[in-house]
Amino acid sequence: MTATSKKPRDQAESIFSKAQTQSMSLNRIISEQDAVSEAREAKTARLRELRLEKEADEMAAAAALPVLPKRVGKR
């Protein structure tokens, strides 16, 4: 009788072990995806900041240039 009752238990343990491994793998994949997403967002924010600084510098440089008067007259 012990031989017949051990087989279902072994099957149940095998199924549980497989499900547990799949769950751990899924958690690892999700964690990696989160890390990649956070890195992408940080890089995007840094690049946006640099672009806005550059645009502000360009606008300040353009504003500092003297405005040439328009020529009025005949050609």
Q: What CA–CA distance (Å, rounded) separates 45 from 33?
A: 18
What are the extents of the domains in the chain? 25-60
Tell whether pTM > 0.85: no
pLDDT by 10s per residue, the chain, length 75: 455 678 999 999 999 999 999 999 999 999 999 999 999 999 999 999 999 999 999 999 988 887 777 777 666
Contacts (Cβ under 8 Å, ≥6 apart) of 36: none
> Quick one: CA dihedral 38, 41, 47, 48, positive or negative?
negative
Q: What CA–CA distance (Å, rounded) separates 27 from 14?
A: 20
Q: What CA–CA distance (Å, rounded) separates 75 from 73?
A: 7
